[in-house]
Amino acid sequence: MAIKAEYIWIDGTEPTPQLRSKTKIMDDDNGVELADMPLWGFDGSSTNQATGDKSDCVLKPARVFPDPIRGGNSILVMCEVMLVDGKAHPTNTRAAAARAAKKYKKYEPMFGIEQEYTMLKPDGSPLGFPDNGFPAPQGPYYCGVGEIAITGRDIAEDHMDACLEAGVTLSGINAEVMPGQWEFQVGPVGLLEVADELWIGRYLLHRIAEEYGVIIDINAKPVKGDWNGAGAHTNFSTKEMREDGGMAHIEAGCVALGKKAALHIANYGAGVEERLTGAHETQRHDQFSYGVSDRGASVRIPWQCSIDGKGYLEDRRPNGNIDPYTVARLMTETICSAMKK
């Protein structure tokens, strides 16, 4: 029987790359192991990844997931984009992430990313906003229950089921502070895994929302004014942070992040200055602070970790529209290189 393999990649759209995908029909005989998946190509001149005269780009399968939308033997194939000479394409941030994962393997870095996103109506306003004007101010919506305040739960629930079927390591979902805003959390898993799975989680979300006639927006500040932006808080730990006495390593990690604050902010998503204003549970983008339980800090140490004396730290600065390959790589490089004896 034929297998439908959806080859998925990240394009060259600026400033925020987007997902692209196309379907390859394969024979049963080819199997569904990663090693059996052939290279494929696409027209890079249509994705801001090549010029028309040298348009061919290469898709190199990196990870295979069962496809919960098509079901059966269908699969999703997360790909890296390569140049025809076999080198990584400049837009391929996974290649550098893979090098960092290898280099810092002995620290056993683990990640959990909280993907906040906004469901939009076709007119571009969030689900739950009236056709003219604004809904009641923020307050009841975060983790809210009840039909009037909460919209989009059917999409969030369908998405959760799809992620679990695909083997995405989900740790939960919740309704967020602004109406129409939701969150799903991936992790805790390793560097490459969290980024691959977050991209697949986003892919499934876009696909499911298509069926509802809803648009998914992961940008930092979908509604200007007194409405929360969308972040991708990135939770991080090393083996030493997770073990007894880990708090000293967590604090050292916070200090290391502070020393490279500008580099991190520059890679934490387009429009990060608009979101990190010091209001709406953020620290300003041009200031760095860390603290236990502090949601107004750049980096938070969760209360449970301070009681246990070990655990993880939460970098609250990354935007919803981050490239998780780059953010997870940078956090690993900054924190683990500072820990090198």
Contact 139, 146 (CB under 8 A): no
CB 194 within 8 A of CB 113: yes
What binding mask, one character per residue, do residues 85-114 give for ligand ADP by CB under 6 A, x or -?
A: -------------------------xxx-x
Cα distances (angstroms) measured from residue 185 to each of 17, 118, 173, 195, 235: 21, 15, 6, 12, 10
Which C-beta is closer to ligand ADP: that of 49 or that of 185?
Answer: 185
**Shortest approach of ligand ADP to residue 250 CB, angstroms?**
10
Our finding on whether 183 is near Mn ion (CB under 5 A) is yes
40-43, strands of its sheet edge to edge: 19-26, 3-10, 75-82, 56-66, 40-43
- For the segment 257-316, give every residue that binds ligand ADP (CB under 6 A): 311-312, 314
Q: How far is the CB of 312 from ligand ADP (least distance, A)?
A: 4
Residue 61 contact, options Mn ion, ligand ADP, none, Cβ 5-8 Å cut-off depending on partner type: none
115 within 8 A of 176, measured Cβ to Cβ = no
Which ranges constitute the DSSP H helices of 148-234? 153-166, 191-212
Range in contact with ligand ADP (rule: CB under 6 A) among 4-12, 19-27, 87-95, 181-189? 181-189
Q: CA 101 to CA 99: how far, in whole Å?
A: 5
Q: In this chain, which stretch among 63-71, 98-106, 181-189, 259-267 interacts with Mn ion, using CB under 5 A?
A: 181-189
188 binds ligand ADP (CB under 6 A): yes
Give least dist CB 293 to Mn ion, A: 11
The torsion angles phi and psi of 240, rounded to 5 degrees, stand at: -65, -35
Find the angle CA(17)-CA(19)-CA(22) to the nearest 5 degrees: 140
Of 183 and 217, the one with the shorter C-beta distance to Mn ion is 183
Nearest position to ligand ADP, beta carbon: 112
Distance in angstroms (rounded) separating the CA atoms of residues 159 and 165 = 10
List 242, 264, 275, 317, residue binding ligand ADP (CB under 6 A): 242
Tell me which of 65, 104, 236, 325 binds ligand ADP, using CB under 6 A: 236
Binding of residue 242 to Mn ion (CB under 5 A): no
| Dist CA 192 CA 331 (whole Å) | 13
- Closest approach, Cβ 114 to Mn ion, in A, equals 4
- Min dist. Cβ of residue 112 to Mn ion (A): 9
What are the tokens at 229?
């932006």
Instruction: Report the interhelical angle of 324-339 vs 94-103 (nearest 10°).
Output: 20
| Residues 108-147 as x/- pattern, contact with Mn ion by CB under 5 A | ------x---------------------------------
Please identify, using beta-carbon distances, which residue of 129 and 312 lies nearer to ligand ADP: 312
Which listed option, Mn ion, ligand ADP, none, makes contact with residue 94 (CB within 5 to 8 Å by class)? none
Between 183 and 197, whose beta carbon lies closer to Mn ion? 183
Helix, strand, coil fractions of the chain, as percent rounded to 5? 35, 25, 40
User: Please, which residue, 129 or 182, has the CB nearer to Mn ion?
Assistant: 182
The two beta strands, 313-315 and 299-301, are: antiparallel
- Closest by Cα among 296, 329, 335 to 313: 335
Q: Which residues bind ligand ADP (CB under 6 A)?
A: 110-112, 114, 171-172, 185, 187-188, 233, 235-237, 242, 311-312, 314
Q: Which residues bind Mn ion (CB under 5 A)?
A: 114, 183, 233
